[in-house]
Chain A
Amino acid sequence: MIEITNLIKTYAGKVHALNGIELEIGSGMFGLVGPNGAGKTTLMRIIAGLLRPTAGSVRVFGHDLASQRGRQEAKALLGYLPQELGFYPNLSGREFLDYMAILKGVTDSQERKQQIGELIELVRLTEVADRRLKTYSGGMKRRIGIAQALLGKPKLLIVDEPTVGLDPEERVRFRNLLSEMAGRCTVILSTHIVEDIGHSCSDLAVMDKGRVVFRGAPSDLITQARGHVWTITTQGEQPNGSLAVVSTLQMHDGVSYRVLGQPGALYPSAQPVEPSLEDGYIWLMRQSAAVMA
């Protein structure tokens, strides 16, 4: 269980990254979604014990991150995949994982070897595992990053934008892997790809400008947009500015727009459609922007 109470983070220059976050995250997979600059990475880094909050508290499985001892104990339970993961270019994939496993406290060499072998297979890097990391493609590096996060059988897995740089097939595989991991530990997945959350999380929070603007199940987020999603077909002209265009599809008899809002009398032929999670997210962000304005 992760308990976050009144968390505030202000960077130098009075940049307010987090404005009083209150969250309780239980077991399973928890999604954190929001636009760039919403404060997701800052929140992740605070939970991982890398960043000091300006105010408020974070407890990870009962360990208070305000104390050095609490942070060390929480880190022993943690698997972390940062948004920008670096590597030692002159180590091979297998050596890098071995190094990280030792640092995580997997001291038994047999167990380490077994875990590394399984993870290399899991992320499909068996054939290149003994090649230097400087020869890896972006996707391969991402997969090694994922493997290192899973080393040591963590109780809490924090993954920040994990699917960036992965091809569609790898993305699906990784989402499934995270869902599988969520049966064994708490997984916090931060992303701005709403689709990733919809496919794998039963609980999510939407952040905007350092605040949690929504907390609930993906279905609840979808429900918010119900009655506000329409398709409008025009001869090419853009829909009215008060409507948010979610997608555009060129048809043989014109252009079909999927829009959010109330077309009203302007578009009598507008057809209501069932909202998706993405619609729910965009609708929420529009509402949030309107409230903050």
Chain B
Amino acid sequence: MNTRRLAQLAGVTRYEFLLVWRGKIMLVMLGMLLVMCVIFFGPMYDVLQHAQMLAGVEAFPPETKADMSRTFASMVWGPLCITLAGVLPILASDMIPKDRQYRVYPLLESMPLPTGVYLLGKLLGLWLSALSGLVVIMVSVGIIFWWLLDGFDPRPYLEIWGIGALSLLILNGGLAVLLPCGLSNRRAALILMAVVMGGALFLGGEGVWVYLNPIRAPIVMHYFTGFIPERPELISHFTGRDVFLSVGAGAAELVVFGALAWGWLRRGFERT
């Protein structure tokens, strides 16, 4: 990639980042996520106090604390996966259609801007804007969690964010940019993604489909339950290997839809 293309990529990414934040949808979505996480603190705090009272101790022993750390991480995962697997794909679906709706697209088409750079810039813009917000929430919730437990094992907490949340953000955020790229307005894009995600939820899946389904059940379910080895009754049948397979299948999906979107936009001229 030459200097001009790199500068164009950085430019599209930077301004998409700005536009996502200024559009306020991301702010609302992440605000809701933060609120949902905080809502869980109430019962969690009550449970902790009750447990402490029953045990008649000032502080929990390390093994209890480790169990609580994982349970708490799983509790945060609930709102997190709903937001990233279900809400983000719908709310971020207008990344490309908005250019047509605002009638900026003809101007962009008149620039020496390669289609690949445009698409990649859109993807990076969305990913980075969501990631920056998620990092803030991760740190805020982590601090509260630390305060509640008087210190905790950060590994499970970091794993749900670093593997679970990041893969959902990249895979489902990416689909939200690529799938509606041929649509001409935001409403149509929103409807399309709502139908796709609703359909995926309704259809569920068996065999290979479970890894290709954008609901990403192996990732979602693994961090809900399979994540707590000390509580076998909750262990999901989705293991770490299933998470890996789901991420791989999602990445392949992204590559295929990326190639289709690239071809569709690039051949826009031929269709005129």
State the CA gap A75–B8 with chains docked (Å): 14
Whether B43 sits at the interface, judged by CB under 8 Å, is no
Cβ-defined partner of A103 (8 Å) among B8, B23, B106: B8
Q: Please name all residues of chain A whose beta carbon is closer than 8 Å to the beta carbon of B266 when the two chains form the complex.
A: 68
Give the A-binding residues of B (Cβ under 8 A): 3-4, 7-8, 10-12, 15, 18-19, 22-23, 102-114, 266, 269-272
Cβ-defined partner of B7 (8 Å) among A82, A85, A87, A107: A107
Give the B-binding residues of A (Cβ under 8 A): 45, 48-52, 68, 71-73, 75-76, 78, 80, 82, 84-91, 95, 99-100, 102-105, 107, 148
Could you tell me the distance in whole angstroms from the C-beta of A116 to the nearest C-beta in chain B? 13
Are B269 and A104 interface neighbours, CB within 8 A?
A: no
Number of A-B contacts (CB under 8 A): 84
9 closest A-B pairs (Cβ-Cβ)?
A: A86-B103, A102-B11, A90-B22, A107-B7, A80-B110, A76-B112, A86-B102, A103-B111, A75-B112
Are B269 and A52 interface neighbours, CB within 8 A?
A: yes
Could you tell me the distance in whole angstroms from the C-beta of A281 to the nearest C-beta in chain B? 28
Q: What residue in chain A is nearest B271 (Cβ atoms)?
A: A52
Could you tell me the distance in whole angstroms from the C-beta of A15 to the nearest C-beta in chain B? 13
Are A51 and B102 interface neighbours, CB within 8 A?
A: no
Are B15 and A95 interface neighbours, CB within 8 A?
A: yes
Could you tell me the distance in whole angstroms from the C-beta of B144 to the nearest C-beta in chain A? 32
Q: Please name all residues of chain B whose beta carbon is closer than 8 Å to the beta carbon of A76 when the two chains form the complex.
A: 112
Q: Can you add 9 more A-B contacts, CB < 8 Å, to A78-B110, A99-B11, A105-B8?
A: A49-B109, A68-B269, A71-B269, A82-B103, A88-B19, A88-B102, A90-B18, A103-B113, A105-B4
Could you tell me the distance in whole angstroms from the C-beta of A198 to the nearest C-beta in chain B? 28
Could you tell me the distance in whole angstroms from the C-beta of A103 to the nearest C-beta in chain B? 4
Q: Please name all residues of chain A whose beta carbon is closer than 8 Å to the beta carbon of B270 when the two chains form the complex.
A: 52
Are B3 and A107 interface neighbours, CB within 8 A?
A: yes
Q: Please name all residues of chain A whose beta carbon is closer than 8 Å to the beta carbon of B105 when the two chains form the complex.
A: 86
State the CA gap A104–B15 with chains docked (Å): 15
Q: What residue in chain B is nearest A83 (Cβ atoms)?
A: B106
Could you tell me the distance in whole angstroms from the C-beta of A58 to the nearest C-beta in chain B? 13
State the CA gap A102–B13 with chains docked (Å): 11
Are B102 and A48 interface neighbours, CB within 8 A?
A: no
Cβ-defined partner of B107 (8 Å) among A52, A102, A148: A148
Q: Please name all residues of chain A whose beta carbon is closer than 8 Å to the beta carbon of B106 when the two chains form the complex.
A: 45, 50, 82, 86
Q: What residue in chain B is nearest A52 (Cβ atoms)?
A: B272
Q: A90-B22, A102-B11, A103-B108 are in contact. Are A50 and B103 (CB under 8 A)?
A: no
Are B102 and A87 interface neighbours, CB within 8 A?
A: yes
Q: What residue in chain B is nearest A74 (Cβ atoms)?
A: B112
Could you tell me the distance in whole angstroms from the C-beta of A216 to the nearest C-beta in chain B? 29
Could you tell me the distance in whole angstroms from the C-beta of B236 to the nearest C-beta in chain A? 42
Are B8 and A50 interface neighbours, CB within 8 A?
A: no
Q: Please name all residues of chain A whose beta carbon is closer than 8 Å to the beta carbon of B15 when the two chains form the complex.
A: 88, 91, 95, 99
Q: Please name all residues of chain A whose beta carbon is closer than 8 Å to the beta carbon of B107 when the two chains form the complex.
A: 80, 82, 85-86, 100, 148
Q: Please name all residues of chain B whose beta carbon is closer than 8 Å to the beta carbon of A45 when the two chains form the complex.
A: 106
Are B102 and A103 interface neighbours, CB within 8 A?
A: no
Are A51 and B103 interface neighbours, CB within 8 A?
A: no
Residue in A78, A89, A99 with the greatest tally of chain B CB atoms within 10 Å: A99
Could you tell me the distance in whole angstroms from the C-beta of B97 to the nearest C-beta in chain A? 13
Q: Please name all residues of chain B whose beta carbon is closer than 8 Å to the beta carbon of A89 when the two chains form the complex.
A: 102
Q: Please name all residues of chain B whose beta carbon is closer than 8 Å to the beta carbon of A95 when the two chains form the complex.
A: 15, 18
Q: Please name all residues of chain B whose beta carbon is closer than 8 Å to the beta carbon of A86 when the two chains form the complex.
A: 102-107
Are B110 and A49 interface neighbours, CB within 8 A?
A: yes
Residue in B107, B266, B270 with the greatest tally of chain A CB atoms within 10 Å: B107
State the CA gap A82–B23 with chains docked (Å): 25
State the CA gap A68–B115 with chains docked (Å): 11
Q: Please name all residues of chain A whose beta carbon is closer than 8 Å to the beta carbon of B22 when the two chains form the complex.
A: 90-91
Please, could you name 29 A-B residue pairs with CB atoms under 8 Å apart, sorted by A?
A45-B106, A49-B110, A50-B269, A68-B266, A71-B269, A72-B112, A80-B107, A85-B103, A86-B103, A86-B104, A88-B19, A88-B102, A88-B104, A89-B102, A90-B18, A90-B19, A90-B22, A90-B23, A91-B15, A95-B18, A99-B11, A100-B111, A103-B12, A103-B112, A104-B111, A104-B112, A107-B3, A107-B4, A107-B7
Q: What residue in chain A is nearest B12 (Cβ atoms)?
A: A103
Q: A86-B102, A87-B104, A89-B102 are in contact. Are A75 and B110 (CB under 8 A)?
A: yes
Cβ-defined partner of B272 (8 Å) among A50, A84, A99: A50
Q: Please name all residues of chain B whose beta carbon is closer than 8 Å to the beta carbon of A87 when the two chains form the complex.
A: 102, 104
State the CA gap A107–B5 with chains docked (Å): 9
Are B18 and A91 interface neighbours, CB within 8 A?
A: yes
Q: Please name all residues of chain B whose beta carbon is closer than 8 Å to the beta carbon of A51 when the two chains form the complex.
A: 269, 272
Q: Please name all residues of chain B whose beta carbon is closer than 8 Å to the beta carbon of A91 when the two chains form the complex.
A: 15, 18-19, 22
Could you tell me the distance in whole angstroms from the C-beta of A186 to the nearest C-beta in chain B? 15
Residue in A45, A73, A78, A105 with the greatest tally of chain B CB atoms within 10 Å: A105
Q: Please name all residues of chain A whose beta carbon is closer than 8 Å to the beta carbon of B111 when the two chains form the complex.
A: 75, 100, 103-104
State the CA gap A89–B186 with chains docked (Å): 15
Q: What residue in chain A is nearest B9 (Cβ atoms)?
A: A102
Q: Please name all residues of chain A whose beta carbon is closer than 8 Å to the beta carbon of B18 when the two chains form the complex.
A: 90-91, 95
